Amino acid sequence: MKSGRRHFIGGLAAAGAVAPAAAGGAAPPRSTYNVMEFGATGGGARLDTEAIQKAIDQCSQQGGGTVLFPRGRYLSGGFDLKSNVTLRFERGAALLGSTNLADYPVRRPAFRSYTDNYTEKSLIYAEKAENIAICGEGRLDGQGAAFKGPYKVRPYMIRIIECRGVTVTGVTIADSPMWVQHYLACDNVMIRGIRVHSRVNQNNDGIDIDCSDRVTISDCEITSGDDAIVLKSTADRPTRNVVIANCILSTACNALKLGTESNGGFSNIAISNCAIYDTRLAGVAIEMVDGGALERISVSNVVMDGVGAPIFMRLGNRARPFREDGPKPGAGTFRDVIVRDVLATKCGITGCAIAGIPGHFLENVTLSNIRLRFVGGGGESLAWRDVPEEEAKYPEFKMFGNLPAFAFYCRHVRGLRMEGLELGFDRAEARPAVVFEDVERAHIEGSRALNAMTAYLRVRSGSRIRVTSNDFTGVAQPFDGPGIEAGGNFC
């Protein structure tokens, strides 16, 4: 409670509130530390790293407050953000990451994870700090185009590790050399109202939440060269209790993703009210390939236009340990996932895979009130192709090639409910809308075809599959295959 109270008071000070006078008429403690007063030039040509660090150190040592960046251009190498300090960037203020790798000190955190292989340098770094914030109307520019080469020669912009009470609001973050933001093993993180524009280098993830608990991300606009918002668990600590809402996303990779790294697992994740456009890979990707348990995931009220695949779900067995000398994890678990109220147009030709592996099922998956329109164009040879298992392959919606269903190819799934699906295409399709293979306890209800098609559901293998109260008008062969119990269909 004490640390939370200090954070609240610090926030008031940052907003310009006047602290009460100390007893005996003494001056109140200082709450704002202007980096210009510590020697920063704000001219953008000379390094201001030392001045910025001095301001942060003094602010933290005196109990906390705001380190202020007034209008100007502040060139900096890596520096440490410390407890009870808010970095506030005024409108017209820009923090420029140095283009010299030597200006970024090596940081090796106590918390070990697979990301040790990716980075050891960051522009803004915090470890085991409390009540820290980055806010304002200014801009953080990583000047990432200047960096070339493998992971560790391209710094992150923001890396926050084992911190509690983290707030990032308002700022624009641009052009990172590597991941834009990484929150690893943190508690109580709030990211709200920021803009991320970063497509100048490789691995430009917009926001990475990793092994963290109690996280909210809302009202953000992100265009990124890699995954826009991605949840990871690159160690044996889960990512859980996460809410993502009201975001606008466009990316050269996946817009909303759980995985690929999943050692610690994911639970209690709610994603809602997001708009996705011009996204090369999946709109929503939910993946478990490195052990761990994935459970209680809800995705709702998402609109998409121009995505490779609107939905991708994968339980695989890459089984990569997060430490080089660590034990190899077994196959993970994937259960209790709901995706509902999704509208998507201009979806690619591949289709959507919802796929486990032999002996390891996706369990209790619900797709509800979903309208998808695909570009279509799949030929007869695709409709009957055999799909390789690819148990250990890196998970991506294209990993199996173009699928034998133009909408949903479901394999190794137990407890699948599809209700209120409306599926269609723009160009003629020889493939059915849905294919089941090794699917148990499935129910398709209240669904319809948006245009004439050869088949709606084809079951290659399965059991206890119910098809009820659907409108299959215009479908030449509504459904076929073993294990189907039909009733109340309009054909």
Is the pLDDT confidence value at 116 over 80? yes
What range does the domain containing 126 cover? 29-226
Residue pLDDT, tens place only, 223-274:
999 999 999 999 999 999 999 999 999 999 999 999 999 999 999 999 999 9
Confidence of residue 14 (pLDDT cuts 50, 70, 90): very low
User: What is the percentage of the chain residues whose pLDDT exceeds 70?
Assistant: 93
In a domain, 72, yes or no: yes
In a domain, 256, yes or no: no
CA 489/CA 283 separation, integer angstroms: 31
Q: Which of 387, 367, 380 is nearest to 313 (CA)?
A: 367
Is the pLDDT confidence value at 373 over 90? yes
- Looking at residue 458, what is its pLDDT? 96
In a domain, 304, yes or no: yes
Of the residues 175, 203, 226, the one at which a domain ends: 226
In a domain, 19, yes or no: no
In a domain, 99, yes or no: yes
**Count of domains observed in the chain:** 2
Pairing of strands 195-198, 221-224: parallel
In a domain, 395, yes or no: yes
Residue pLDDT, tens place only, 41-50:
999 999 999 9
Of the residues 192, 226, 260, the one at which a domain ends: 226
Q: Are residues 321 and 421 in the same domain?
A: yes
User: Residue 360 gets which letter from DSSP?
Assistant: B
Q: Which of 38, 52, 163 is nearest to 97 (CA)?
A: 52
Report which secondary-structure segment, H or E, holds 14: helix 2-14
Q: What is the mean pLDDT of residues 24-35?
A: 72
Q: Which of 290, 240, 286 is nearest to 114 (CA)?
A: 290
Confidence of residue 490 (pLDDT cuts 50, 70, 90): very low
* pTM for this predicted structure: 0.93
Q: Are residues 473 and 339 in the same domain?
A: yes
In a domain, 236, yes or no: no
- Looking at residue 188, what is its pLDDT? 98
Q: Are residues 419 and 337 in the same domain?
A: yes
Q: Are residues 103 and 184 in the same domain?
A: yes
Q: Is the peptide bond before 345 cis (omega within 30 degrees of 0)?
A: no
Q: Are residues 381 and 485 in the same domain?
A: yes
SS3 13: helix
Residue pLDDT, tens place only, 124-175:
999 999 999 999 999 999 999 999 999 999 999 999 999 999 999 999 999 9
Calculate the average pLDDT of the chain: 93
Of the residues 226, 244, 261, the one at which a domain ends: 226
Is the pLDDT confidence value at 18 over 70? no
Confidence of residue 117 (pLDDT cuts 50, 70, 90): very high
Nearest 5 degrees, angle CA 136-CA 169-CA 105? 80
Give the CATH number, domain containing residue 185. Answer: 2.160.20.10
- Looking at residue 486, what is its pLDDT? 80
Number of other CB atoms surrounding residue 102 within 10 Å: 8
Q: Are residues 323 and 214 in the same domain?
A: no
Q: Are residues 99 and 186 in the same domain?
A: yes
Q: Are residues 75 and 220 in the same domain?
A: yes
Q: Which residue has the tokens 């849905």?
A: 434
Q: Give the range among 30-34, 48-52, 121-125 with minimum mean pLDDT.
A: 30-34
Confidence of residue 488 (pLDDT cuts 50, 70, 90): low
Q: Are residues 325 and 208 in the same domain?
A: no
Residue pLDDT, tens place only, 273-322:
999 999 999 999 999 999 999 999 999 999 999 999 999 999 999 999 99
In a domain, 15, yes or no: no
Contact (Cβ atoms closer than 8 angstroms) between residue 165 and residue 4: yes
